[in-house]
Chain A
Amino acid sequence: MNNLIRIGKLLYTKNLVPGVSVYGENLRVINGIEYREWNPKASKLAACIIEGFDLKLEANSTVLYLGASSGSSISHLSDILVNGKIYGVEISKEMIVRLINLAEKRKNIYPIFDDARNIDNYKDLVNDSVFLYQDIPQFDQVDIFLKNLSIIKEKKGLLVVKTKSIAVNKKLKEVLELVRKQLKSVKIIKEKVLYPYYPDHVGFLVSG
């Protein structure tokens, strides 16, 4: 992917706003270009990329991102999708103010303050998205993902499932079977536990 490099167990994205560290991450100059460290221990999206999920995003891609939080992972996508857009959906009041603040400094971040279950509120605003990313630890996370996937042109997306949010007492294997069943309407391209970074999270790369 554009503006993204890997050195050992760490990723780096070319800083869109040179000199500024978004959430305290290290800045590092490589061949005269400033990069921001993107640690897979601090971002599930980074862990997915390290674990070999190929999102095939271009510099001008538009991504719908659910569970944007304060935008630490989104800020790296913002480095990558320099000519694209990231629609970040976030439900929490505490987090959305931080995301708005980030969006005011990075022109490719589009904050949406809503519950990702209520797609009718925003589906017409984000219908140019080509990829869906979701990191929402809720009981109905797969439903939320499928609902939103219907907005995406080719139904491409990466779902990060927190297995403990679906069932606390079930074994990982059982939860995964449940998730696969729920995802039967789409093609699972890659599935992987985000071990060792997030042993109770599993990535599902899907396409329609």
Chain B
Amino acid sequence: MDQEDFINRAKDKFSSSITEEDEMYKILDIYDALIKSENLFFQSIKEFALLYFPTFAINATLNDFINLKIDELQKIKDYGKKTKDLALFNSFLMLLNQIEENKKLCIKKIEEKCSNLFPNSSAIIEPLILARIMKEIGGSEKIPNLTISKLQAIGNPKNFYGKPSFGFIYNSKIVQSKKDKIKATRKLSESLLISLKVDFFRKTKDENLIKKLLNNISKIV
């Protein structure tokens, strides 16, 4: 085999090795990059807006800027610089809106892929959080080695072992809706471990299992 054959062989193997899971983690990276960029961009737009609309801009949130339209801009009475570069400002707002749209696209794709890959687990915890957990542990191939304590510590920046955890699971909607969040984290981790193992071995949705696992958590106040 000459060098070109080696290269072609590696290329073929690469293209057939890319999975839906690979795609999901890359989209998640892009989503996180968009959040960071959006925040950075928002901060500087805000500084720019302060020159023209100080009263408005000083208290404006990211959402206020996203929802702002050019005709509303023209109506804002404020004490800033009188001649404003509204065209430029509007162009910035449009880009901010595009970032927002792209974030939504990412979330939709992540949810879709996560529900395909982990149909049972995605019914137990928000797919976005599940995707973060799976990426952090190094992909679905690591599921067989997962334990409850590992699972509930994932995403905890301090990762203190054995202590109550404040990781991704703690931050899920369902845990946040409970009073005893530590207990709920533990219970949800238990349920998630079961559903993940089922998803690992056969990727079919089992409504009965989901109901049972959700029931476990709903008992907690």
Contact = CB atoms under 8 A, between A and B. Distances in A.
Interface of A: 85, 87, 93, 96-97, 99-100, 103-104, 107-114, 125
B88 interface: no
Contact of A104 (B7, B9, B17, B22): B7
B40 interface: no
B87 interface: no
Contacts, number: 38
Interface of B: 1, 3, 6-7, 9-11, 13-14, 17-18, 22
Contacts of B13: 113-114
Contacts of A99: 10
Contacts of A85: 3
A103 B7 contact: yes
Given A113-B9, A113-B14, A125-B1, 12 more contacts: A87-B6, A93-B18, A93-B22, A96-B14, A97-B14, A100-B11, A104-B7, A110-B6, A111-B7, A112-B9, A113-B13, A113-B17
Closest 10 CB pairs of A and B: A110-B6, A113-B10, A111-B10, A113-B13, A100-B10, A103-B7, A110-B3, A113-B14, A96-B14, A125-B1
B14 A100 contact: yes
Contacts of A104: 7
B3 A107 contact: yes
Contacts of B17: 93, 113
23 contacts: A87-B6, A93-B18, A93-B22, A96-B14, A100-B7, A100-B11, A100-B14, A103-B3, A103-B6, A103-B7, A104-B7, A110-B6, A110-B7, A111-B6, A111-B7, A111-B10, A112-B9, A112-B10, A113-B9, A113-B13, A113-B14, A113-B17, A114-B13
Nearest to A106: B3
Given A93-B22, A125-B1, A112 B6 contact: yes
A125 B6 contact: yes
Contacts of A113: 9-10, 13-14, 17
Nearest to A124: B1
Contacts of B10: 96, 99-100, 111-113
Contacts of A111: 6-7, 10
Contacts of A107: 3
Contacts of B14: 93, 96-97, 100, 113
A108 B7 CA distance: 11
A100 B9 CA distance: 10
A57 B18 CA distance: 37
A177 B9 CA distance: 40
